[in-house]
Structure formats: structure tokens, C-alpha cells
Amino acid sequence: MQRSIDEINNKIKDGSVVVFTAEEIIDVVKAKGVKRAAQEVDVVTTGTFSPMCSSGAFLNLKQPREKIKLGGGWISLNGVPAYAGLAAADIYIGATAIQHNDPRNDNGKPGKFRYGGAHVIEDLVTHKKVQLSAGAYGTDCYPNKKREDWIDLADTNDAFLFNPRNCYQNYNVAVNLSDETIYTYMGKLKPKLGNANYCSAGQLSPLLNDPYFRTIGIGTRIFLCGTEGYIAWAGTQHNPDIPRLDNGTPRSAAGTAALVGNLKDMHPEWLRAVSFTGYGVSLSVAVGIPIPILDEEMMAYVSVTDADLKAPVVDYSRFYPYGEGDPKLAEVSYAELKSGQIEINGQKVPTGCFSSYVNAQRVALTLKAQIDQGEFFLTQPVSLLPGPADKKEK
Amino acid sequence: MLKTKVVLSFPPSSVEEPITYHLIKDFGIMVNILRASISPGKKGRMVVELSGEESIRSQALNYLESKGVEIDELAAEIRYLENRCASCTACVPVCPTGALDVDRNNWKVSFFEDKCVVCLSCVDACPYRAVEIGPE
Ligand code: SF4
Ligand code: SF4
């Protein structure tokens, strides 16, 4: 059985397309088998809603009457510095940037990181005004040297989210073997294996449903924060050459995707700033990727369940920061993680997550409805994300 | 616009600085002094209500911390902001009483106020700022 993107789009147009979410498809395949399910189902939708620090937005600001050249100068929004190393009116506000006077972790206690770049982006998407302060050196064509103003999204010519890395294909489960509480990008980790934190939508996670990147690549249209977005490139740290299980999924962090989408069309419901005590600010975005069922092989991939997906348990007190000790304390399945408790060295450890499964489900269902209603069409990627050098690697 | 009641403890070195003046003038924060005991050369304490936009309140609290002022939110209860909660479950393993718990059938997290002992463990653990310390 073979199916092309064109055939799928024609079915979306005439309303006959059959779509399931990556969660719903599990029971379909159980009942009908891979072969029949592949014949009957055209598209499977995925979803995720997780914090990712490698996030930010490009803004092009409308010029005041007396023009200012921000490039080579400086700018802050609500006291959060943005990058001004581009042209006169282009800036990049990164999710993790923090206010000039934030005490960080320097007060002898973990910082709270109340407000940062991600909060500025969330405020912009909520159509709030933000306070702009900027300085420039002044030129004959851009004489203005100082700008103090309040702006919102309507005061930009262009605003697009550009996240260099999103949708990690799998990720570590973080624990703490030391005697003291530590504060990490995987949250507050209590001493002596007090808790274990993970961060993936598991069976709904986009790249875990196309483990070898047979359908996902540059130009893939996606659901991004309530509007359409695109995969722009392989994400930073994309590494397909990771040991894999028999079902093709990587046994630790592997593929990633760089995403782009119009900030002006995004909805605050699908984009949230987060503050990690003792670590910093980050941004959670909603991403849904449609997987075209090109053949039976794709149907087999999208039918993976949480029980079939495994993640490594890593110590964030010694191994992650210093490279000391055992690199992998255990391997656990997402089904075990989602039960609320895993076992490490015979000890029962409660689990928590940062990725919202409820929101991942809502993303996958929303994308499914958009395809069903003929509002979202699939694209043929211009170039697929790089897969493993040896696809058969185990 | 957000309102919080906090206890500010000043080190002797900053008792004589016009901190409330700076809060109002530099940050545009509204400061409502509810109680104060300040005498030169001694540690001062002040109970205040601060209101202002989140980005501004954050800069004001940053400023206070940089002056060595300790900030304790008045903890009488935990307020759970359902519309901010992403149901991520990060708080579930740190809550000792099950006051914050997840229904593993639909993955929704809920707050059961009667079980909460106001230990504050969840406040540090929630990245989405969905649990807040409520005033007395
Ligand atoms: S304050 Fe303590 S008991 Fe109450 S919800 Fe938070 S962690 Fe649970
Ligand atoms: S950590 Fe915060 S956002 Fe996550 S489930 Fe708990 S209250 Fe909700």
C-alpha cells in the first residue's frame, strides 16, 4: 500500500480524509492490525506542550518619525534585554533573557526568575503594551539616539517566533543522587532520589511517531501556538545517530526541529512563559505535527504506545553537570513514568512532568479537527530531517 | 494588575534608605503600608501590599532583593489558579498530602484545598506560576 501527500490533500479537500490522533490510533491498530489501519487511515496527528529554552522571536519595529538604528546599539523590553545586532529595526528577544536587576542565583538562595524574555513574548501575544528603552550611536540617516516608548504587536511590521530547537524526540529523566536539593532545568530535584522529573508527551510526541524522519522535514506545515507554522531546519543538537529500540525509537534525546510561525496570529492559550526556580526562564509552546500514513511502515511507527518508549534516568547532581559517575542509572518506559512512580536501584521514586499531556491531547485533537474540516493541508517537505547514518542501527 | 501582601525585612544598612520612595518613583508600584517597625541601626520590618503589572512588580522585587531586603510572602493559604495550570504534574511528587493531584485517566491536575497544609513546596516546583501564596 502506498499513499501520496497529493492524494491525502485531495481527500482533505473533498472531505473524505480519515484522521486519528497518535493516542486514538493505538486502539485502531490493536483492533484492525497495521495493514488494515494503514489502508483506512490517511493522517495521524501528534502534539506536545513543553518548556524549551531555545526559543525566541524576531521583531521588526516600526520606526518613530526621527529614525533610530538599533543595530549596534541596545534595547530592552520591560527591562529585559533583547539582541540588537541586526539591522536598524530588527531585534531578537530570547526566551531566557532576564531583567537587568534580577538578582539571579546570587543572593545565596535559588533565584525566582519572575520575569524574562518568555514573559515579554507572552505579554506581546496577549496584546499587552511593553515598555521599550533603546539607545543608539546615531548616524546621518538614523539620527535618533534614544527611544523610550510603550509598544505592542501592532507597533511591529513583522513578528515571528523562531525557535532554534523544539520537539526533542526523547529526553532524560532527571534525578538527584546527592544529599541536597538541587534546582535544575528539570525542576526542583529532592535529595537521595526524592523525585524523578521527565519531559515528553511520549506516545503523542511528534518526532517519536516518525522516528527515522521519513515524512518530517524542512517545509513541513505544523500547528504552532494556535496558528500554522513550519519546520525551518533540523533543530540545533539534532542527532539521529542514537541507539534505538526495535520499533525504531531512540533510547535517549535524538532528533529536534527548528520552528517558525507568525507571532501575530498566535494565541496566549498555546504559548506560556515558565519560571524554573534556581534555573531561569523558559517558554512552553504548543506544537502539533501531522504524520501522513504513506505506507504500512508509517502506520507501525505511529502506533507506538507509552509502554514501547524508553528514556534514560540521569543523575543531575554529578553526572549531568560534571560528567562524573554512572551515565545511566536505569532505563524506564513512559508507561512507568506516567504511573506516578518508577523504581531505581530498588527504591520507589515518585515522578513529575513539565510537559502537559492534557495540552498535547488538545493540540492533537485540534489539528485533527482542522484537517477533518478542510482547514489544514499537508505539505511535502523540501528536504527531510537527516536520519541515522545506518538506519538499521540498534 | 497584581496585588501581593509581603513582609519586608530590612538589614540595618538599608533601614535609612528611602526604599518605598524608590518603589513608587522608579517603578510606579503602588505601595500600601499595613504595618511597620523601623528604627535606625536595627533590623526593620514592614508589611506592605504591592500592586502593579507583573513585569514592573518583578523589577521592584528584584530591586528590594538587591538591597538585601528579605521578602516573605504572607502565607495563610495557597491559591490555585486553574486557568494558569497546564496540568503538567510537576507539583504532584512534591506535594506531601495529595492536595495537588492528577487524575491519571484524563491527566487533569486538581487542587483539594482541604488537604493543603500550606507547606509551600509546590510554589517553587510549579513553573507555570499556577500556585500562589495567598495573604492572611
Ligand atoms: S502548599 Fe504543600 S500541601 Fe499545599 S498544595 Fe502545596 S505542596 Fe501541597
Ligand atoms: S506544577 Fe503548576 S502547572 Fe503544573 S500541574 Fe502543578 S499547579 Fe499545574
| Ligand 1 atom having least distance to the Cα of B97 | 3
pLDDT tens track for A118-157: 999 999 999 999 999 999 999 999 999 999 999 999 999 9
Over residues B22-32, the pLDDT tens digits come to 888 888 888 88
pLDDT tens per residue across span B64-116: 888 888 888 877 789 999 999 999 999 999 998 999 999 999 999 999 999 98
**For residues A359 and A204, is the Cβ–Cβ distance under 8 A?**
no
A36-45, A278-287, A353-362, B51-60 — which is least confidently predicted?
B51-60
* Under 8 Å between Cβ of A82 and A93: yes
- A64–chain B nearest CA distance, Å: 24
By most ligand atoms within 8 Å of CB, the mutation choice from B89, B111, B118 for ligand 1 is B118
Q: Across the strands, what pairs with A344? A: A347
Interface predicted TM-score of the whole assembly (ipTM), two decimals:
0.90
Contacts of B72 in chain A (CB under 8 A): none
Given a contact cutoff of 8 angstroms between Cβ atoms, the answer to whether A223 and A287 are in contact is yes
Distance from CA of B40 to the nearest CA of A (A): 24
Give the domain CATH number at B101: 3.30.70.20
Which atom of ligand 2 lies closest to the CA of B102? 5
What is the band of A263 on the pLDDT scale with cuts at 50, 70, 90? Answer: very high
Residue A26: its H or E element: helix A24-40
Q: State the cell numbers at A157.
A: 511590521
What is the DSSP secondary structure assignment for residue A172, as one 8-state letter?
P
Q: Among the atoms of ligand 1, which is closest to the Cα of residue B120?
A: 1
Place of cell 534514560: A312
Contacts of A195 (CB under 8 A, 6+ apart): A175, A188, A189, A349, A350, A351, A352, B93, B94
For residue B69, give the nearest of B89, B50, B96, B95 by alpha carbon: B50
**Summary mean pLDDT of chain B:** 87
Q: Are residues B69 and B116 in the same domain?
A: no
Do B66 and B119 share a structural domain?
Answer: no
A189-233 pLDDT, tens digit per residue, is: 999 999 999 999 999 999 999 999 999 999 999 999 999 999 999
| Interface test mutation site (partner A, options B66, B70, B89, max chain A beta carbons within 10 A) | B89
Q: Read off the pLDDT band of A317 (50, 70, 90).
A: very high
pLDDT of residue A229: 98
Region at A269 (left for phi over 0; alpha for psi -120 to 50; beta for the rest): alpha
- Predicted pLDDT of residue B106: 95
pLDDT in tens, A79-126: 999 999 999 999 999 999 999 999 999 988 899 999 999 999 999 999
Using an 8 Å Cβ cutoff, are A181 and A273 in contact?
A: no
CB B10 within 8 A of CB B45: yes
What is the distance of C-alpha A347 from the center of its chain?
31
Q: What are phi and psi of B70, to 5 degrees?
A: -90, 135
Quick: pLDDT tens for A331-372. Answer: 999 999 999 999 999 999 999 999 999 999 999 999 999 999
What's the rounded Cα separation, in Å, for the pair B66 and A186? 27
pLDDT at residue A392 is higher than 50: no
| Domain range annotation of chain A | 5-52+167-375, 56-161
How far does residue B113's CA lie from ligand 1's centre (Å)?
A: 9
Q: How confident is the model at residue A66 (pLDDT cuts 50, 70, 90)?
A: very high
Q: How confident is the model at residue A57 (pLDDT cuts 50, 70, 90)?
A: very high
| The predicted structure's pLDDT at residue A58 | 98
Do B25 and B50 lie in one domain? The reply is yes
**Residue B118 and residue B85 share a domain:** yes
**Would you state the pLDDT for residue A391?**
66
Q: What lines the ligand 2 site, CB under 6 Å?
A: B 85-91, 100, 109, 125-126, 128, 130-131
Confidence of residue B119 (pLDDT cuts 50, 70, 90): confident
Closest CA to A207 of A220, A189, A197: A220
Give residue B135's pLDDT: 65
Instruction: Say if pTM beats, i.e. exceeds, 0.90.
Output: yes
How far apart CA A216 and CA A94 sit, in angstroms, is: 26
**B26 in A contact zone (CB under 8 Å):** no
Q: Are residues B63 and B29 in the same domain?
A: yes
Overall number of domains in chain B: 2
Mean confidence (pLDDT) of chain A: 97
Nearest-angstrom CA–CA distance, B33 and A194: 41
Report which DSSP code applies to A72.
Answer: T
Of A79, A188, A284, the CB nearest to B55: A79
Query: Are the CB atoms for A201 and A50 separated by under 8 Å?
Result: yes
Q: Which residue range is the domain that position B123 belongs to?
A: 77-134
Sign of CA dihedral A346, A350, A355, A360: positive
Residues B64 and B86 in one domain: no
C-alpha span between A213 and A378 (Å, rounded): 15
- Is the minimum CB–CB distance between B97 and chain A shorter than 8 Å? no
User: Contacts of residue A338 in chain B, CB cutoff 8 Å?
Assistant: 104
pLDDT at position B49 is 86
Question: What pLDDT is attached to residue A394?
Answer: 38
Report pLDDT digits (tens) over A4-28: 999 999 999 999 999 999 999 999 9
Which residues of chain A make contact with B93, given a CB cutoff of 8 A? 195-196, 340, 350-352
Q: Which of A174-183, A184-193, A260-269, B112-121 has the lowest mean pLDDT?
A: B112-121
CATH number of the domain encompassing residue B29 = 3.30.70.260
Q: B129 CA distance to ligand 1 centroid (A)?
A: 14
Tell which of B24, B56, B73 closes a domain: B73
CA of B70 to the centre of ligand 1 (A): 22
Provide, as residue numbers in chain A, all residues whose Cβ is less than 8 Å from the Cβ of B66. 101, 103
Q: How many CB atoms lie within 10 A of CB A90?
A: 17
Ligand 1, atom 6: closest residue by C-alpha? B122
Which of A78, A101, A356 faces B87 most closely, judged by CB atoms?
A356
In whole angstroms, what is the distance from residue A370 CA to residue A220 CA? 16
- Cβ-defined contact of B127 to A119 (cutoff 8 Å): no
Question: For position B68, what pLDDT does the model report?
Answer: 85
The percent of residues in chain A predicted with pLDDT above 70, rounded, is 99
